[in-house]
C-alpha cells in the first residue's frame, strides 16, 4: 500500500523531502535516505538506497535500485534494475505519495528557457501546499 491517505501522522509543517531536485547536465545521481546519496530524502518510507536518475543526451531515466516501498512513474511501479524515461509532466513517487511525490519538469524546453528557469528540475508541486494546509 502506498501512503495512508493523510498527513496527520506528521509532527511538522515542513515538507520532509527536498522541495526540488536539480538534475545535472549529464551523469547519474542517487536518491535515498542515506546521507551518502546525491539527494537525501529523509522520509521513513524511502529506502536508504532507493533510486537513481541518469541524465544523458538521449534523455532522463529513473531506476529503482531495490527499494522496499518502490519507485513509481505515473502510478506504475518501476521494476528494480530497470529504468523508465521521464518526460515533461511525469509524476515520480519514491515510496509514499504523500511524502515523496515529485513532478518532472523539463526546463530545457524553449518556453522554459524564456522564463530563465534552471536546467532539468524534478520539482515538488501543489502537494506541498495541500500538505501544509492540512497542518
Provide mean pLDDT across the span 53-58.
92
Helix (H) or strand (E) run with residue 133 in it: helix 126-133
Which of 103, 115, 54, 47 lies closest to 74 in space, CA to CA? Answer: 103
Helix (H, G, I), strand (E, B) or coil at 71: strand
Indicate yes or no: pTM above 0.85. no
Confidence of residue 112 (pLDDT cuts 50, 70, 90): very low
CA distance 112 to 116: 7
Select the more confidently predicted residue: 33 or 135: 33
Check if the beta carbon of residue 33 is closer than 8 Å to that of residue 48.
yes
Provide mean pLDDT across the span 19-43.
89
- Output the nine-digit C-alpha cell for 45: 518510507
Amino acid at each position: 500500500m502506498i501512503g495512508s491517505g493523510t498527513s496527520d501522522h506528521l509532527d511538522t509543517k515542513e515538507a520532509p523531502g527536498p522541495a526540488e531536485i536539480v538534475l545535472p547536465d549529464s551523469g547519474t545521481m542517487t536518491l535515498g535516505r542515506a546521507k551518502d546519496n546525491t539527494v537525501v530524502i529523509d522520509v521513513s518510507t524511502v529506502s536508504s538506497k532507493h533510486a537513481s536518475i541518469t541524465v544523458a543526451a538521449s534523455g532522463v531515466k529513473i531506476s529503482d535500485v531495490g527499494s522496499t516501498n518502490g519507485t513509481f512513474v505515473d502510478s506504475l511501479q518501476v521494476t528494480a534494475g530497470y529504468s523508465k524515461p521521464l518526460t515533461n509532466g511525469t509524476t515520480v513517487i519514491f515510496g509514499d505519495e504523500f511524502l515523496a511525490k515529485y513532478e518532472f519538469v523539463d526546463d530545457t524546453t524553449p518556453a522554459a528557457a524564456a522564463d530563465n528557469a534552471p536546467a532539468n528540475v524534478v520539482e515538488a508541486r501543489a502537494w506541498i501546499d495541500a500538505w501544509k494546509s492540512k497542518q
